[in-house]
A and B are shown apart, each in its own frame.
Chain A
Amino acid sequence: MEPRLASLVLQGLKEAHVKFVVGLPDSMLAGVYAAAEKDPEIRYVGVTNEAEGASIAAGAWITGGRSVLVMENSGLRAACEALSRLGLVNGIPVTMLMGYRGDLGERFHWGVNHGITMEPILNALRIPYWIIDREDQIIPAVKRAVLHGISSLYHNAVIFRTPLVDEGK
């Protein structure tokens, strides 16, 4: 994601009073991690896997520090165990921002499986999601996702599709 679009993601997060961006870097949303790390109003926490990331985000959230988890959609698979327990046992929300690797037209053979598994997993966990591909959707989608976490006390996701994200080299 180019810096100009990443700045819109950050703007949406700040307008939603998000304090913590927890992330495991990927190519599609590379600009978002970089922007979050540099932003003095955001605490960026890099993690070693996405289950850990979901748990850190949830710990911050339940004590009043609004948070999001940023990752490639493959991270959803790694995060499933923690997301299931946090969401279905405790009802502590994690808002996720993901790049849509494996979308129709994927250039890399290794990325196709990420697209195949993403929506079935989200549906299995009953996680509502929005797939966006226009610049004017970024700020409202991010803000409304954070808001929805507060009202639903359950996870949700915003998925960024090309041309908003970089497919990588």
Chain B
Amino acid sequence: MKRYELLKELAKLVTDQDLVITSIGGVKPEWYSLMPGNGTMFADLLGCATPFSLGVALNLPHRRVIALDTDGGMLFNLGALCTVGKEAPPNLTIIVLDNERYEGVVGSPATHTASGRMDLERIAAAAGISSTGTVKTTENFAALAATMLSDGQTGLMVAKIEPGIFRDVPPDRVKESDGIEDKYRFMRHIEQLEKISIRPRYARE
């Protein structure tokens, strides 16, 4: 299963009322090319996309929040799964894009998930996350994602994907913004969506 094909299926399920948080890595340009709107925070966090998403989900319990995390990111900070399990936000779905590689590194060295002896899904379940699953095909991904986004439970899905980054993004769908612009776009989007002021022009006591 290629990540881009999986993300295309996810894009069919995500509405303009949902919020998506990405990890670092190839998922950022691919997801942007499919969903260039402002409902995604293209976070630049290593091992912290899931806890960042937890903060979003706890603050906006009426919104579906989707974390697009990775095997490398998840392994960097496994304790975060225990906090997710303890807090159990019903509006949070974590999708672990597991290519069993540190893909951004020269030579794409293997992560621990490549050993076949560890299982992120079972770790998540043991951490108290109520809805978990592992998928290896696009069809199964689409079905499980649809379930997890509508079942009112904290969800974590491990999606086993092939290494590789989609390179044929149309020129008008290439992500060129930096982290600061990404932040402002997401923050202003939330302000409009929630009809709130997060950063007023003049902060007052």
Q: Give the B interface residue count (CB, 8 A).
A: 44
Contact with B along A67-103 (1 / 0, CB 8 A): 1000000000000011001100111100000000000
What are 22 contact pairs spanning A and B, CB under 8 A?
A20-B55, A22-B55, A43-B58, A47-B79, A48-B79, A48-B83, A51-B47, A55-B51, A58-B55, A59-B57, A60-B58, A62-B56, A63-B59, A64-B198, A65-B55, A81-B48, A82-B47, A85-B43, A89-B44, A89-B179, A89-B180, A147-B204
Q: Which secondary structure characterizes the binding site on chain A?
A: helix
A61 to B190, CA, bound (A): 11
> A81 — which chain B residues lie within 8 A by C-beta?
46-48
Identify which of residues 12-57 in chain B touch chain A, using a CB-to-CB cut-off of 8 Å.
Answer: 19, 21, 41, 43-49, 51-57
Report yes or no: B183 in contact with A90, Cβ–Cβ below 8 A: yes
Contact B56 A60 (CB under 8 A): yes
Q: Does A167 lie at the interface of the complex (its beta carbon under 8 Å from any beta carbon of B)?
A: no
A4 located at the interface, meaning its Cβ lies under 8 Å from any Cβ of chain B in the complex:
no
**B-side interface mostly:** helix
A112 close to B (CB within 8 Å) = no
Known: A86-B45, A89-B179. A52 touches B203 (CB 8 A): no
Q: Chain A residues in contact with chain B, CB under 8 A?
A: 15-16, 19-20, 22, 43, 45-49, 51-65, 67, 81-82, 85-86, 89-92, 143-144, 147, 150-151, 153
B60 within 8 A of A: yes
* A residues near B186, Cβ cutoff 8 Å: 62
